[in-house]
Amino acid sequence: MRTMQETDVLKSPEEFYDAYIFDMDGTIYLGEGLLPGAARMINELRRREIPVRYLSNNPTKDPEMYVKKLQKLGLPTPIEDISNTVVTTTNWLLQHYPDAVLFPISEEPLKRALRNAGFVLSEDPEEIDIVIASYDRTFEYKKLQIAFDAIWYYKRAFMIQTNPDRFCPFPGGRGEPDCACIVAAIEACTRVKSQANLGKPDPIMLETIMQSLPSARVEHSIMVGDRLQTDMQMAIDANMVSGLVLTGEATIPDVLKRTEEQRPSFVMDRVDRLIPQWAWDELGWTVDNDA
């Protein structure tokens, strides 16, 4: 049972917004299943012709893979509605270092996107310009040695990272080590810090999305996610409305540790609480009938 203080933190919107931007893992789905109320909430926003966009810090999937996953979960989604760190990392490198030789410590989706963008990938420390640290379940000592040699020994490369997440949440309260662990390993041996983060909470993620929504006001759009340090911090820094769902990483005690200025605009126990209560009443929704 929640305390009175914890209950007071829970708050849901009373109106609809210009656009809804969603994190996916821990917000719309967890593992291979949709979270309660997610489908009817997305369907209602689309019925009202309100723009829906998806963001993810997970670079182990490219937008095409997310389209297939959402389709499988019953949420048909145009590829234009999805942006993740595969997209932002590739675009940032094209804009700032189009001729760089890259060493991505990553899984195949990011490597494929970089090759398709025309980049040269290399494991030769003598020619690497940029080491990209990412969420990589194939990480091994050989990769750490290449990064170490390129950055520390040859002193020609610098490091960037796709995202700052410590772990990726799994069902049942479990998780898997994420990009921050790879970054920490490289920083520990080279004493060189990452020079850029291409995922949340960096504003590049929201800037990319909002460019596709010219009629949406930033201050009247809402970012929805399950993490305070990434999803919510990005929204706060961008002066965007923020909605935290308690279905992933963050908890009410985590919210209570933050100052009033650093707390989300809304805190909800389930994602369909984004739909105002008056609309729930009109639609006849209950928590026991969330199809």
Q: How far apart are CA 185 and CA 203, in angstroms?
A: 25
What's the token pair of residue 113?
Answer: 């996107």
Q: How far apart are CA 124 and CA 150, in angstroms?
A: 8
Q: Which of 3.30.950.10, 3.40.50.1000, 3.20.20.70, 3.30.530.20 would CATH assign to domain 86-190? A: 3.40.50.1000
Which candidate, 151, 191, 184, places its Cα nearest to that of 165? 184
Name the pTM for this structure.
0.84
pLDDT at 3: 61
For the chain, residues classed under CATH 3.40.50.1000 are 4-57+215-283, 86-190
Q: How far apart are CA 86 and CA 222, in angstroms?
A: 23
CB 150 within 8 A of CB 187: no
Q: How far apart are CA 203 and CA 103, in angstroms?
A: 24
CB 2 within 8 A of CB 252: yes
pLDDT at 263: 96
Phi, psi values for residue 286, rounded to 5°: -140, 165
CB 143 within 8 A of CB 151: no
pLDDT at 291: 62
Kindly state the DSSP code that residue 35 receives in the 8-state scheme.
Answer: P
pLDDT at 150: 98
pLDDT at 125: 98
Residue ranges of E strands in 49-105: 52-56, 82-84, 101-105
Which candidate, 224, 93, 226, places its Cα nearest to that of 162? 93
Which candidate, 65, 47, 56, 48, places its Cα nearest to that of 21? 56
Q: What is the mean pLDDT of each run of 10 residues along the chain (291 residues)?
A: 69 97 93 94 97 93 94 95 93 96 97 98 98 97 98 97 88 87 98 95 86 92 95 94 94 94 96 98 92 62
How many CA atoms within 13 Å lie on the side-chain side of 26?
28
pLDDT at 174: 84
Straight-line distance from the first to the last Cα atom of the chain, in angstroms, rounded to the nearest whole number: 26
Q: How far apart are CA 286 and CA 281, in angstroms?
A: 9
Q: With respect to CATH, is domain 4-57+215-283 assigned 3.40.50.1000?
A: yes
CB 4 within 8 A of CB 252: no
**Tens digit of each residue's pLDDT (9 = 90 or more) over 168-195:** 877 777 889 999 999 999 999 999 999 9
Torsion of CA 202, 238, 175, 172, to 10 degrees: -170
CB 34 within 8 A of CB 74: yes
